Structure formats: structure tokens, C-alpha cells
């Protein structure tokens, strides 16, 4: 007697906390297993969903039957499915959204299902099956099943399933979006040697727009898409033509770059490990299944090679690996090293992939045709077969936390997934986050999460010294009047002059993009703010205007003060554009390049800039925190931090930690080669611990100091946090809802006698974003209790009425 197939729980790719019960037809019972894709009827549509459980007892209500199960093998292997379920529980996320993070969009949802002629046509097929096969052949071997159903005027799922089973047909879930064809892109590119500032002055004379266009092209790495110049940067056609006419630039047609990594051979690894690298690698090998370690190695200590060799051992043993990087566009050197080692077994999951390409990469990994996945945060879900190791590079980066539902942190997911798959994981950094560092070593008072091992690379390769860091106290140091509001000390000026004299390279960090921070009326003190976000607008030069750095809104520069009518407005604070002008004015012969979100807005412009630095075509690279990340250029002998205080006073308990990490990381870009190097840090707060410890390269000292600060009032890792953000279009509504949620949570805590503290409601530091007023509540307490609250509260609180309630567990930003 065949067992009764029973019922299945199916999740749909929708923000719903519940799953749905469907009857399993006997014919496809063997395919309806957890993790499998199934086609189910939902109202009048057919959707692709994921089976969570099969073999459930019959529910009370009447249920519909599953229509089809297109894959011979479940789309989501067991451990990934269980990781999604963990994520839904831990972060209080609808299971549909957790699964959505794991499967590329074209693989499920309201996709079209096609029937194709199968690999083994069966000769004598009678009845409806035969008619269907014939009809598909007439349609050219492929057609939507829905069209077939219309043609035959009956549902065809059962027949189609039977045909698929004998190989006479295939069921394919087609991407909802058609594949974008390869497009040709017109680019404007500079011709010949770069003009110096003096020559520029002569050639462009009064043609300011042409001069600006020339400068912009230079910043963008020598070329830019014509569409980008015209539409986003607002250069007119006549300006573009004039520059071409003068022979300084030309228009080229290129195939749109899909994957800049493709075709590049990658850089080969150094042949031998140092003794310390070998020791670290051996320790990775000794990690048990599911266990992990922190690779704590100073900047330039060769952490990458340890990751690569560890991954190599895993791959040689026939297993797979995931390497996570903070942002794939910012880490071309890392990607090139991975490519150099593993060649075509690597799938690079970057943001420029189309949905279809992403789905292709997903399938290649799922089938085991690619064994190593490299990518940002979401690559932690890559369906690598027989996963052996997960590496998280620069683990302290906050980009590992997802900013929207599911609000997961890639570390936590990596740990959970590693445990489920008996893989190992390695978190690497020169400046580990306090939360990670606190997990090192056993803590009998805190049995979970399990402790991390600690691997150290305390010295740089070839025993190169870490660069000396000098703090320049802007309150007393001799400064140069440059006519710009950028603080510019004699010490930094001299150091830069020396470096340029020697033909070496320098990096200048100013973590604020735009020309100046804000406009201020000298008469009444009024500062223009974003009408939506209540933060000061930033003044930009190219294209000219005021810009909100939270919602992106652009406004014209007002001719006079909107409050008092005063005509002159003063630019206050400094940004990277002003720093660029200053550098160009002080050092007219130097080739200066700026790198920030504005110059890297076109895809891969980052790449081009980094390539030019590597080829020695740039003398001074200046920019925002982007330039502090992972770059390895031996000829950089000076790093100047123009204003170390930009993030020191943000209303966030991690402000000190972020400042320390940024300083230590950017300092780590200096002196990576035999010529050595040094770091100058300009500040008004030379006594701040974040600066003092950074100046001594004393990461552990800083962490110990910071750990004390987090004890009272308690902040992570001392306590666990849940940020509850309530937002609404009207301020009273946001406030009222926040108060209601606070009452509700308060009575929940006291009824259940939960050891949790509730702070707020208070306005978020960014009181308004994209037109929504934001208030928040902060819950502090042990992780287990917070977990219970999240699981209980999430389905009851989120998305009620006109106010939106967001639960952000383990938040990385409280702004
Ligand atoms: P980290 O990530 O720790 O800052 P990297 O991995 O970028 O450091 O290594 C710094 C530099 O040292 C790179 O240029 C790398 O090629 C080089 N390097 C690393 N390991 C070795 C080695 N064993 N022998 C020679 N050079 C090495
Ligand atoms: Zn705004």
C-alpha cells in the first residue's frame, strides 16, 4: 500500500509571517520535499513557492493541490532552508522575505513556467500527452504552459509533470524579466597627456564648463559615459562637442561592461607563506566542524594569503567556499587575488549582474560547477555545494548588516550556516569590532554564542614597521592660510611636498563629500536643511547645488538667505571637492584624483581609478572613507587625515569605535612597501582615546578601553540591543504610535517578568528620512529574552495602520 502523501507547508515570496497548506498529489509526492520549488494556485494566479515541510496531517480547512514540482532536486538544500528559518525567527522577519534573500528573483515568485521538448522524446505517446508534445514542437520546442492550457482548455499540470518525469518534456521557470541585451555605451575619453593646472588655465581661459568637464573626466579615471555626463552631471552637448573639437577628448563606443573581472587573469599569490601565516593556517585547519576564529592581523600582515590557502585546502578536498568582502566594487584587489588562485572555479557575485546573470551564477554554484563564491553580504547565502569554509574579510565593516528586512548580520548568518553545514568560518580584520573580539576565548558566564578562536598576525610582511602616526593639534599647530576652509597645517603641507618631490604617492582622507558641509547665513545664522530629513544640506560644486545626504534630494543654491534676505552666504565646513581645489592650488604639478561617491557613481569607475594609482598615474589620491579600504599600494608613503573629528560627535555609541577603525585602516595604507611611510592626523581632539590609541596602533588597548565604556550604561557586547523604529508621514502619528508600542512592550515585559529595559520613545537622530518622521525605542537586555520578544512582537507589531514599525535586532546604527 502506498502511503498517503499528505499535505505540505509552502512559503510564498511575500512579506507574510504565515505559510500555506497545500495537498500533495500522489504523482509528485517524491519531489515535494523541504526546500523544493512548487507551483501553487494563489487566488487566480500560479506562483512558485518553497516547501517548508511535507507530510503534514490534513488541516481543518479544505485545501488546494500543488500543481507541479519542476525540479528533480530541491532548489534550497536543507541547511540553507534551515538558515532561512533561523533568520526569520532571530530577526523577526517574515519567512517569505528570508527565503527571498536566498533565491534570485527569477527562480521563484510570479514567474512564467515554460514547457520545453525534453531530452528523451518518447515515441508513442497517446492522448493529451501526445497532443501536448506535438503542440510544443509546433511552437518551436518551447512555450508557456499557461498558453498550452488555454489552447487545450484544460489544466495540464499533471500531464506536464508526467512528461517531465519520463524526460519527454522539461518544465522551466523563466525569469520574469527578459534578459537585457548587451548594450553599446558611448563614452567620452580624454586624449593624450593630462594638462597641468597652469596649462588648463591657458587653454580654457574663460570656458569654465569645458574646464570643469575636463576635470570631471580626469576624476572619473579618464573617461565617462556620455549619458552620465549629460543626464546626471548636466554638461550640455555643446560643451561635450567643444572639448572633442579642441582635440582633448574623443567619443568611443564600448560594449557595456558587464563584469570587469571577467577575462582578467587575476594576480598570482606570493609563493611562500611566512612562519606566522603558516601557523595561522594550521590553526584554521584544526578548527572543528562548525567552529570559527578571528584572524586578527595588523594592516599589511598578509591576511589575504591565509584566507586563500585555507580556501585552497578546502577546494582541494572537494568542498566549496564563500569569501565575503564589504563591498565588491571597492575591493578589486581582493577579487583579483581570488581569481588568480582559483580561476574559473570562482563565481563573483557583484551588483552589476542582471537578474538573469545572478540566477545563472546561482545555478552554477548549486550544481557544483563553481566551487568558490566571492561577494558582499548576500553572498553568505550562495548555494555552494558541500560548504567547507566561510571567510569574512574586514569583519568590522557595518555593511555586513542588511539595512532592510531581513535585517540580518552576515557574521551571525555565517556562524549559523557553518554550524548547520559542518563548515568552518574565519572573521578577519586589523581592527575587529568589540563585539567580535569579546567572543574570543571561553566565557563561562556566557555559554552562547560559542567562543571564537584567535589567530594573530602581529607583524607586517617582511617585518616592515607600521607607519609612525603624528597627531597635529589644530588648536595650536601652525597652519597655512590657503583661502579655503580646509584646515591645512604646515606639517601636512611640508610632508606632502616632500613626497611629491620624491615621486611617491600620498593619500588624503576627508570623510565628507561635497564641496562644503553646509551654507550658513553670516547675518542670521540660518542653515538650509533638507525639508524631508531635517539635516543640513551639503553644498556641491559639480553639479552645482544643495544636496541631502540621506534622501539624495537636490535643491538650487539660494541667491539670498531664505530667512533674512541677506545676499551673501558663507560656506561652512569642508568637503572633498574643496580639498581637491586646495591640493591643486598648492601643488599645481601634482596629478590629483578624487574618490568619493560622487566620482564613483558610474559602475567600475572605482576600478579605473585604482588601476591608475597602481600604474603610478596619480600622485595624490583624496577622498572619503572609501579610500581607507583594503588598498595595497607600496608606493604610498604618506597618509594625511585632514579632519579626524568628522564622525567623533555623531549621536551613536559606536562613534569612537568607528573613528578608531577608520584612522587605523587609513593609516594602514601607508608604508606598505620598502620605502616605508608615515601618517599625519589633523584634529581638534588629540586627547580623545580613539585618536590616541590609533596613533599608537594599539587596537587591543582601544578595545579594552572601549569595553569598559560599554559597561555603564550598558551597550553591546555588554548587553543585547533591539531598536524599534516607528515612522509615519505625520509627526504626531509617529509619536503616538511610538508611545503605544512602548506601552504594549512595557506591559509585555512586566507580565512576563522579563529582565529587559525599555528606553524612549525618543526622536531618532535623523528625525526625518524621505518624508517620514522617525521615533524609536531601545530595548536592552540578555539576547535570549530579546529573542523571545522579537518572535512574539514581530507579527503583532509590524506594519500597522499608517505608521510603520521596524524591529532592528543587533542594530549597527542608531542614527
Ligand atoms: P592585509 O590584508 O593583512 O592588510 P595583504 O594580504 O594585503 O595584507 O598583504 C600585504 C602585502 O603583502 C600584499 O602585497 C601581499 O601580496 C604581500 N604578501 C602577503 N603574504 C606574503 C608572503 N608570504 N610573501 C611575500 N609577500 C606577501
Ligand atoms: Zn533629505
Tens of pLDDT, residues 421-441: 999 999 999 999 999 999 997
pLDDT higher than threshold 70 for residue 12: yes
Identify the DSSP state of 228: I
Tell me how far the alpha carbon of residue 498 lies from the centroid of ligand 1, in angstroms.
27
Say whether pLDDT at 588 is over 70: yes
Whole-number Å distance, alpha carbon 535 to ligand 2 midpoint, is 7
Ligand closest to CA 549: 2
pLDDT for 568 equals: 67
Torsion of CA 324, 327, 331, 337, to 10 degrees: 20
Which of 654, 632, 763, 765 is CA-nearest to residue 330?
632
The rounded distance, in Å, linking the Cα atoms of 583 and 539 is: 19
Is residue 46 left, alpha or beta, with left meaning phi > 0 and alpha meaning psi from -120 to 50? beta
Q: How far apart are CA 267 and CA 611, in angstroms?
A: 13
Instruction: Verify whether ligand 1 is closer than 6 Å to residue 290 (CB atom).
Output: no
Q: Rounded to whole angstroms, how far apart are CA atoms 307 and 213?
A: 42
Eight-class DSSP state of 782: -
Q: What is the pLDDT of residue 177?
A: 41
Q: Is the pLDDT of residue 20 over 70?
A: yes
Please give the average per-residue pLDDT across 779-800, as a whole number: 88
| CA atoms of 429 and 437, how far apart (whole Å) | 10
At residue 90, the pLDDT reads 96
**DSSP secondary structure letters along 559-598:** SS-TTT--S--EEES--HHHHHHHHHHH-TTS-EEEESTT
- Would the pLDDT of 178 be above 60? no
Q: Is 231 helix (H, G, I), strand (E, B) or coil?
A: helix
pLDDT tens digits for range 534-577: 667 777 766 788 877 656 678 888 888 887 887 766 666 667 88
Counting from 1 in the atom list of ligand 1, the atom nearest the Cα of 337 is 16
C-alpha distance from residue 460 to each of 213, 293, 628, 666 (Å): 42, 20, 17, 15
Query: Which amino acid residue places its CA nearest to atom 16 of ligand 1?
Result: 270
Alpha helix (H) residue ranges in 654-782: 655-667, 689-695, 699-709, 731-751
Banded pLDDT at 9 (limits 50, 70, 90): very high
* Interatomic CA distance for residues 45 and 68, integer angstroms: 14
pLDDT tens per residue across span 470-501 = 999 988 888 888 777 788 999 999 999 999 99
Look at ligand 1, atom 2, and give the residue with the nearest C-alpha: 303
CB-based contacts of 317, cutoff 8 Å, min separation 6: 388
Best residue among 267, 269, 270, 631 to mutate for probing ligand 1, ranked by most atoms within 8 Å of CB: 270
Cα(277) to ligand 1 centroid in Å equals 10
Highest mean pLDDT among 254-258, 623-627, 808-812: 808-812
Beta bridge partners of 251: 188
User: Which bound ligand lies closest to the C-alpha atom of 538?
Assistant: 2
Instruction: Write the DSSP symbol of residue 451.
Output: P
C-beta of 463 in contact with ligand 1 (< 6 A) = no
622 contacts 638 by C-beta, under 8 angstroms: no
pLDDT recorded at residue 336? 84
Statement: residue 207 has pLDDT above 90: no
CB 79, CB 89: distance < 8 Å: no
Q: Where are the beta strands (DSSP E) in 24-126?
A: 37-42, 45-56, 112-117
What is the percentage of the chain residues whose pLDDT exceeds 90? 38
Q: Could you tell which of 271, 303, 304 is best to mutate to test the pocket of ligand 1, judged by most ligand atoms within 8 Å of the CB?
A: 304
Which ligand sits closest to the CA of 275?
A: 1
299 lines ligand 1 (CB under 6 A): yes
- pLDDT score, position 179: 41
Average pLDDT over residues 198-203: 79
Ligand 1 close to Cβ of residue 671 (< 6 A): no
Helix ranges (DSSP H) in 43-170: 78-91, 95-100, 127-138, 145-152, 157-166
Q: Whose CA is nearest to atom 23 of ligand 1?
A: 273
Containing 806, the helix (H) or strand (E) segment is: strand 804-809
Q: What is the DSSP string of 157-201?
A: HHHHHHHHHHTSEEEEEE-SSPPPPP-EEEEEEE-SSPPPHHHHH
Pocket lining: 433 vs ligand 1, CB cutoff 6 Å: no
The ligand whose atoms approach the alpha carbon of 548 most closely is: 2
What residue owns the CA closest to ligand 1's atom 1? 300
Check if the beta carbon of residue 351 is closer than 8 Å to that of residue 342.
Answer: no
Q: Is any ligand 1 atom within 6 A of the Cβ of residue 270?
A: yes
Burial 49-71 (b: 16+ CB within 10 A, else e): bbbbbbbeeeeeeeeeebbbbbb
- Average pLDDT (322-342) is 84
623-661 as b/e, with b when 16 or more CB fall inside 10 Å?
A: bbbbbbbbbbbbbbbbbbbbbbbbbbebebebebbbbbb
Top pLDDT among 514 and 232 is at 232
What does the pLDDT read at residue 181?
42
pLDDT of residue 600: 59
Distance, CA 650 to ligand 2 centroid (Å)? 17
Q: Which pLDDT score, from 0 to 100, does residue 1 have?
A: 40
Cα-to-chain-centroid distance, residue 813: 15
Residue of 267, 305, 393, 466 to mutate, ligand 1, most atoms within 8 A of C-beta: 305
Render pLDDT for 334-368 as a digit per residue (tens, 0 to 9): 888 888 888 888 998 877 677 777 888 888 899 88
Main-chain phi, psi angles of 335, to 5 degrees: -60, -40
Among 149-158, 330-339, 553-562, 718-727, the range of highest mean pLDDT: 718-727
- Tell me the ligand closest to 673's alpha carbon: 1
What's the mean pLDDT in 57-69? 83
Residue 529 Cα to ligand 2 midpoint, Å, equals 8
Averaged pLDDT for residues 59-86 = 88
Contact (CB, 8 A) for 162 and 231 = no
67 neighbors 154 (Cβ within 8 angstroms) = no
Question: Measured between alpha carbons, how far apart are the two ends of the chain, in Å?
Answer: 63
Q: What is the pLDDT of residue 22?
A: 94
Q: Whose CA is nearest to atom 15 of ligand 1?
A: 302
> How much is the pLDDT for 522?
67
Ligand 2 midpoint to CA 556 (Å): 14
Check pocket membership of 297 for ligand 1, CB cut-off 6 A.
yes
Q: Computed over its alpha carbons, how large is the radius of gyration of the chain?
A: 29
Cβ(641)–Cβ(342) below 8 Å: no
Residue 85 Cβ contacting ligand 1 at under 6 Å: no
Any ligand 1 atom below 6 A from CB of 632? yes
What mean pLDDT value characterizes the chain?
84
- 459 in contact with ligand 1, CB cutoff 6 A: no
Q: How far are the Cα atoms of 217, 437, 458, 470, 694 from residue 699, in angstroms, in the given order?
A: 39, 11, 11, 17, 7
- pLDDT given for residue 221 in this prediction: 66
- pLDDT average, residue stretch 658-676: 89
Residue 183 has pLDDT above 60, yes or no: no
Most confident residue range from 208-217, 621-630, 794-803:
208-217
Partners of 188 in beta bridges: 224, 251
Is residue 309 within 6 Å of ligand 1 at its C-beta? no
Q: Centre a 10 Å sphere on the Cβ of residue 580 and count the other Cβ atoms it contains.
A: 26
C-alpha 294 – ligand 1 centre gap (Å): 18
Q: How confident is the model at residue 209 (pLDDT cuts 50, 70, 90)?
A: confident
* Cβ of 300 less than 6 Å from ligand 1: yes
Ligand having the closest approach to the CA of 530: 2
Q: What is the pLDDT of residues 229-277, one digit of tens each?
A: 887 678 888 899 999 988 899 888 765 545 555 556 677 788 899 999 9
If pLDDT is split at 50, 70 and 90, which confidence band does 370 have?
A: very high
Q: Closest Cα to residue 665, out of 432, 411, 426?
A: 432
Contact 88, 95 (CB under 8 A): yes
- Please name which ligand lies nearest the alpha carbon of 269: 1
Q: Is the shortest distance between the CB of 274 and ligand 1 below 6 Å?
A: yes
Sheet holding 37-42, edge to edge: 20-23, 7-11, 45-56, 37-42
Query: Is 273's C-beta closer than 6 angstroms to any atom of ligand 1?
Result: yes
Residue 615 class from Cβ within 10 Å (0-12 exposed, 13-18 middle, 19+ buried)? exposed
The pLDDT assigned to 80 comes to 95
Ligand 1 atom closest to Cα of residue 299: 4
Whether ligand 1 lies within 6 angstroms of the CB of 811 is answered as no
Percent of the chain topping pLDDT 70: 87
Say whether 316 sits in a helix, a strand or coil.
helix
State pLDDT tens for residues 267-311: 778 889 999 999 999 999 999 999 999 999 998 899 999 999 999
Nearest to 99 by CA among 113, 112, 80: 80
State the closest ligand 1 atom to the C-alpha of 634, by its place in the atom list counted from 1: 14
- Asked whether the beta carbons of 522 and 564 are under 8 A apart, the reply is no
Question: Is residue 632 helix, strand or coil?
Answer: coil
> Which of 326, 378, 317 is CA-nearest to residue 347?
378
Nearest C-alpha to atom 26 of ligand 1 is from which residue?
270
- Average pLDDT of span 319-339: 86
What is the CB-side half-sphere exposure of residue 367 using CA atoms within 13 A? Answer: 11
Q: Answer yes or no: are the C-beta atoms of 170 and 116 closer than 8 Å.
A: yes
Nearest CA to ligand 1 atom 18: 302
| Phi-psi category of residue 179: left, alpha or beta, with phi > 0 → left and psi -120 to 50 → alpha | beta
Pairing assessment for the beta strands 678-683 and 372-375 based on DSSP bridges? unpaired
Distance CA 453, CA 295 (A): 8
CB of 461 within 6 A of ligand 1: the answer is yes
pTM for this model (two decimals): 0.81
Amino acid at each position: 500500500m502506498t502511503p498517503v502523501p499528505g499535505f505540505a507547508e509552502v512559503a510564498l515570496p511575500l512579506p507574510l509571517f504565515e505559510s500555506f497548506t497545500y495537498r500533495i498529489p500522489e504523482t509528485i509526492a517524491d519531489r515535494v520535499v523541504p526546500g523544493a520549488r512548487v507551483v501553487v494556485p494563489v487566488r487566480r494566479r500560479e506562483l512558485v513557492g518553497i516547501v517548508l515541510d511535507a507530510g503534514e496531517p490534513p488541516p481543518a480547512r479544505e485545501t488546494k493541490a500543488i500543481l507541479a514540482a519542476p525540479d528533480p532536486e530541491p532548489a534550497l538544500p536543507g541547511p540553507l532552508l534551515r538558515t532561512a528559518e533561523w533568520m526569520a525567527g532571530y530577526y523577526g522577519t517574515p519567512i517569505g522575505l528570508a527565503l527571498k534573500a536566498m533565491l534570485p528573483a527569477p527562480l521563484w515568485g510570479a514567474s512564467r513556467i515554460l514547457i520545453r521538448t525534453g531530452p528523451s522524446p518518447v515515441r508513442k505517446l497517446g492522448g493529451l500527452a501526445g497532443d501536448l508534445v506535438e503542440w510544443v514542437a509546433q511552437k518551436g520546442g518551447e512555450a508557456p504552459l499557461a498558453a498550452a492550457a488555454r489552447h487545450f482548455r484544460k489544466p495540464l499540470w499533471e500531464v506536464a509533470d508526467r512528461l517531465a518525469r519520463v524526460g519527454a518534456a522539461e518544465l522551466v521557470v523563466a525569469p520574469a524579466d527578459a534578459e537585457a541585451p548587451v548594450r553599446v555605451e558611448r563614452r567620452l575619453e580624454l586624449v593624450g597627456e593630462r594638462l597641468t593646472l597652469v596649462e588648463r588655465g591657458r587653454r580654457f581661459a574663460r570656458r569654465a564648463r569645458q574646464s570643469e568637464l575636463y576635470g570631471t573626466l580626469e576624476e572619473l579615471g579618464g573617461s565617462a559615459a556620455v549619458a552620465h555626463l549629460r543626464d546626471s552631471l548636466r554638461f550640455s552637448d555643446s560643451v561635450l562637442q567643444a572639448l572633442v573639437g579642441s582635440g582633448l577628448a574623443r567619443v568611443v563606443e564600448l560594449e557595456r561592461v558587464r563584469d570587469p573581472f571577467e577575462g582578467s587573469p587575476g594576480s598570482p599569490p606570493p609563493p611562500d607563506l611566512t612562519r606566522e601565516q603558516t601557523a595561522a593556517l594550521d590553526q584554521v585547519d584544526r578548527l572543528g566542524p562548525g567552529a570559527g576564529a578571528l584572524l586578527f592581523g595588523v594592516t599589511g600582515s598578509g591576511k589575504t594569503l591565509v584566507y586563500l590557502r585555507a580556501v585552497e585546502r578546502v577546494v582541494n578536498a572537494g568542498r566549496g567556499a564563500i569569501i565575503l568582502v564589504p563591498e565588491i566594487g571597492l575591493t578589486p584587489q581582493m577579487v583579483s587575488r581570488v581569481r588568480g588562485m582559483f580561476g574559473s572555479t570562482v563565481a563573483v557575485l557583484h551588483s552589476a549582474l542582471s537578474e538573469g546573470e545572478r540566477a545563472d551564477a546561482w545555478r552554477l554554484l548549486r550544481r557544483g560547477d563553481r566551487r568558490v563564491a566571492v561577494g558582499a553580504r548576500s553572498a553568505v547565502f550562495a548555494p555552494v555545494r558541500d560548504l567547507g569554509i566561510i571567510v569574512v574579510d574586514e569583519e568590522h565593516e557595518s555593511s555586513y548588516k542588511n539595512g532592510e528586512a531581513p535585517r540580518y548580520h552576515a557574521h551571525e548568518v555565517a556562524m549559523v550556516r557553518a554550524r548547520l553545514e559542518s563548515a568552518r568560518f574565519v572573521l578577519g580584520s586589523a581592527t575587529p569590532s568589540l563585539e567580535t573580539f569579546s567572543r574570543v576565548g571561553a566565557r563561562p558566564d556566557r555559554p552562547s554564542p560559542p567562543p571564537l578562536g584567535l589567530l594573530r598576525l602581529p607583524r607586517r610582511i617582511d617585518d616592515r614597521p607600521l607607519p609612525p602616526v603624528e597627531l597635529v593639534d589644530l588648536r595650536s599647530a601652525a597652519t597655512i592660510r590657503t583661502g579655503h576652509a580646509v584646515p591645512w597645517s604646515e606639517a601636512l603641507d611640508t610632508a606632502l611636498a616632500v613626497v611629491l618631490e620624491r615621486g611617491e604617492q600620498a593619500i588624503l582622507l576627508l570623510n565628507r563629500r561635497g564641496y562644503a558641509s553646509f551654507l550658513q547665513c553670516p547675518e542670521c545664522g540660518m542653515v538650509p536643511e533638507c525639508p524631508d530629513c531635517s539635516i543640513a544640506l551639503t553644498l556641491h560644486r559639480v553639479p552645482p547645488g544643495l544636496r541631502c545626504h540621506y534622501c539624495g534630494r537636490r535643491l538650487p543654491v539660494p541667491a539670498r538667505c531664505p530667512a533674512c534676505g541677506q545676499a551673501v552666504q558663507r560656506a561652512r565646513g569642508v568637503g572633498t571637492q574643496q580639498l581637491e581645489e586646495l591640493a591643486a592650488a598648492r601643488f599645481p604639478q601634482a596629478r590629483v584624483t578624487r574618490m568619493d561617491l560622487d566620482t564613483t557613481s558610474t559602475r567600475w569607475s572605482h576600478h579605473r581609478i585604482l588601476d591608475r594609482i597602481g600604474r603610478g598615474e596619480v600622485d595624490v589620491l583624496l577622498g572619503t572613507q572609501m579610500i581607507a579600504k583594503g588598498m595595497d599600494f607600496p608606493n604610498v608613503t604618506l597618509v594625511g587625515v585632514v579632519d579626524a573629528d568628522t564622525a567623533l560627535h555623531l549621536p551613536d555609541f559606536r562613534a569612537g569605535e568607528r573613528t578608531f577603525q577608520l584612522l587605523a585602516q587609513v593609516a594602514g595604507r601607508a608604508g606598505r612597501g620598502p620605502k616605508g611611510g608615515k601618517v599625519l592626523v589633523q584634529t581638534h581632539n588629540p586627547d580623545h582615546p580613539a585618536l590616541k590609541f590609533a596613533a599608537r596602533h594599539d587596537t587591543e588597548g582601544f578595545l579594552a578601553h572601549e569595553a569598559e565604556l560599554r559597561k555603564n550604561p550598558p551597550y553591546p557586547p555588554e548587553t543585547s540591543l533591539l531598536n524599534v523604529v516607528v515612522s509615519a508621514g505625520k509627526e504626531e502619528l509617529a509619536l503616538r504610535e511610538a508611545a503605544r508600542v512602548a506601552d504594549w512592550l512595557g506591559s509585555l515585559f512586566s507580565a512576563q517578568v522579563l529582565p529587559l529595559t525599555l528606553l524612549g520613545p525618543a526622536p531618532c537622530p535623523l528625525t526625518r528620512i524621505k518624508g517620514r518622521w522617525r521615533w524609536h525605542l531601545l530595548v536592552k537586555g540578555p539576547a535570549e529574552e530579546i529573542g523571545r520578544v522579537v518572535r512574539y512582537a514581530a507579527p503583532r507589531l509590524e506594519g500597522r495602520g499608517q505608521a510603520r514599525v521596524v524591529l532592528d535586532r543587533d542594530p549597527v546604527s542608531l542614527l
